[in-house]
Each structure stands twice: as C-alpha cells, then as structure tokens.
Structure 1
Amino acid sequence: MKKQNKFIIAGFALSLLLAGVVSNYASSSPDGLEKVAEDIGFLDKAKEHMNSDGLLADYGVKGVKNERLSTGAAGVIGVLATAGVSSGLFLILRRKNGASK
C-alpha cells in the first residue's frame, strides 16, 4: 500500500472518530449569531427554517432517542456524505482531465 493511501485512510478514520465520538463534547452554548440575537433582543423573532424537522436537524438523527448516539451518528453520516461527494467529484475531474490511475 502506498504511503499516500495510508495517510488518506488514517485521516478518514480520524475524521470518523472525531465526528462520532468527540462531537459529543462540543460546547452546548449558543453560536455567535444566536448569542448576539439573544443579547440584542431579536432572538424571539427568529423563524424555523424549512429543514428544521429534517432527518439531520439540530446536529442529531431524527428518531434516535439517545442524544449521544444521535449526535455521533449525525457526525458520521456527515463525514461519509462529504467523503462520497468529494470522492465522486475528484473522480469526475480526474477523468475529465485525462489523468490515469
């Protein structure tokens, strides 16, 4: 196995670990915009967005009751989706440019 492939696999594994486990230790404090909206007093005027009841809304997976598991699963799904889309784009661009394996 090439050194580059080992590096990519290790990075992917680390990403899955961070998304699945370490994400549960992220701050539960409001983000910057929410904090400013709260401080200035217009937070109560905020409306729910179209996807607020979606499968991966609010950093969790809809239907998973365990909050830690829900957050970790959402992170892993995000990493897998990002890896899938980016890999697909790289393959398309590689073929378009005529690069070989």
Structure 2
Amino acid sequence: MTRPSGGRRWFFWAAFAVATMLIAGVVSSFASSSPDGLDSATLRGCEIVETGAGEELRGECIAQHAQEHPLTSSPLADYAVEGRDGTGGAAGVVGVLVTVLVAGGVFWAIARSRARPKSSVGE
C-alpha cells in the first residue's frame, strides 16, 4: 500500500480548511433564527408576551424553569459576535478556529507523549 505524498496531503488539508471556512463563514449566515425543536418543545404550554421589561413567559412549560447560562455574556453567545446581527458567519469562523486549535493542541500533546521512549523502572 502506498502512502500519499506530502503534496497530496497538504492539498487535502488546504481543501478541507477552505471548505470548513466556507461552511462556517458563508453557509452559517443562512441558518434559521427561528426556535429549533428543543426550544419549541420546552415552550409547549407557554405563551411569550411582550411587556415593558421585555419578553415574559406565561403558562406552564419546561422553559419556566430555565436559567441564564454562565456564558450568556460571552463574545460569541447566540451565534453572533457580541450580540450584533449579521455576524453569525464571523462567529462560525472563530468557533471553527478555536475548535481546531484546541483539538490540534490535544492531539499534538497525545502524539508527543506516545512518541517518548518509556524509561524502565529499577534500571
């Protein structure tokens, strides 16, 4: 079995990176902002009412017991950069980059630890 050449490997990773960034940056901007299935299920039995203080839930539903997530005020919360409309693509690209960096760092650390020769105890 032949191994792929270095050029082919780099071409694969470059094409993979371009495709990933296109999906994260462009396709994600077409995602629906409507509630997904989980949101819809947790709101079953409640009604969202606009008040002077904002939206309020009335009725009996699972969402009545929901609490704010600790990262609600983080820069990439709600799939947007600092809550600004139209920044979902940028948030997607940043999310992909962070995920690749963290996963790459973990895999690199594992590979390095396995590549080290094990010392014999008691020699």
For this structure pair, what is the TM-score category when the shorter chain's length is used for normalisation? Answer: 0.7 to 0.9
Q: How many aligned positions are there?
A: 96
The percentage of counterpart residues that share the same residue type is 40
User: C-alpha displacement at 1:22, in angstroms?
Assistant: 0.7
Q: How large is the RMSD of aligned CA atoms in angstroms?
A: 1.8
Which structure would you say has the larger RCO, counting Cα contacts within 8 Å and 6 or more residues apart? 1
User: C-alpha displacement at 1:52, in angstroms?
Assistant: 0.9
Q: 1:27 aligns with which of 27, 32, 56?
A: 32
Q: 1:47 aligns with which of 67, 76, 81?
A: 67
Amino acid at match of 2:7: K
| Alignment correspondent of 2:41 | 36
Give matches, 1:76-91, under 5 Å: 76-91=93-108
User: C-alpha displacement at 1:2, in angstroms?
Assistant: 2.6
**Greater Rg over alpha carbons, structure:** 2
User: C-alpha displacement at 1:44, in angstroms?
Assistant: 3.9
Question: TM-score, normalized by length of structure 1?
Answer: 0.82
Question: Where is the strand percentage greater, Structure 1 or Structure 2?
Answer: 2
CA distance in 2: counterparts of 1:75 and 1:12, whole angstroms: 13
Partner SS, residue 52 of structure 1: coil
Any runs of at least 4 consecutive aligned residues in structure 1 with deviations exceeding 4 A, and if so which?
none
Residue by residue, what CA displacement relative to the aligned partner does 1:28-68 show, whole Å, maximum 9, x if unpaired? 221222110112432344222111111111001116x4x22
Q: 1:71 aligns with which of 69, 78, 88?
A: 88
Question: TM-score, normalized by length of structure 2?
Answer: 0.69
